[in-house]
Amino acid sequence: MDHARKLLRTLASSAILYERIETSYSNARAAKPYVEKAITISKNNDLHSRRLLLTKLTPMAAKKALEVLGPKYKERKGGYTRMIKLNDPKAGASKAVLELVE
């Protein structure tokens, strides 16, 4: 795995485990579709979905996605995440919060 894919995997796993992460704006923009697709896959709680999620996420994040987030978002068509841009003039890069919606 190259560095960019490892970073996406870690960010997406953290977003699923903690349901809210604060990172740079560009990293949040890159991780958002990755998290959305993982939650969409987790809505089908079968062996194929489990194996797909284990290739995309850490084992703990895949387990939480299948057992908690899949049933939670079963009726929702999409839009599982929200990205809020933070303006911190002291920080070099702009920050953002990536969180799961209720």
Q: What is the pLDDT of residues 6-56, one digit of tens each?
A: 999 999 999 999 999 999 999 999 999 999 999 999 999 999 999 999 999
Q: Quickly state the pLDDT bin for 91 (edges 50, 70, 90).
A: low
1 pLDDT higher than 70? no
Mean pLDDT of the chain: 93
CATH number of the CATH domain containing 87: 3.90.1030.10
Helix (H) or strand (E) holding 76: none
Q: Which pLDDT score is estimated for 88?
A: 72
Could you list the residue range(s) of the whole structural domain that residue 40 is in? 3-100
* Range 27-65 burial, b when 16+ CB lie within 10 A, else e: bbebbbebbeebbbbbbeeeeebbebbeebbbeebbbbb
62 pLDDT higher than 70? yes
Global confidence as pTM: 0.89
What's the total number of domains in the chain?
1
**Dihedral sign for Cα atoms in the order 51, 22, 3, 81:** positive
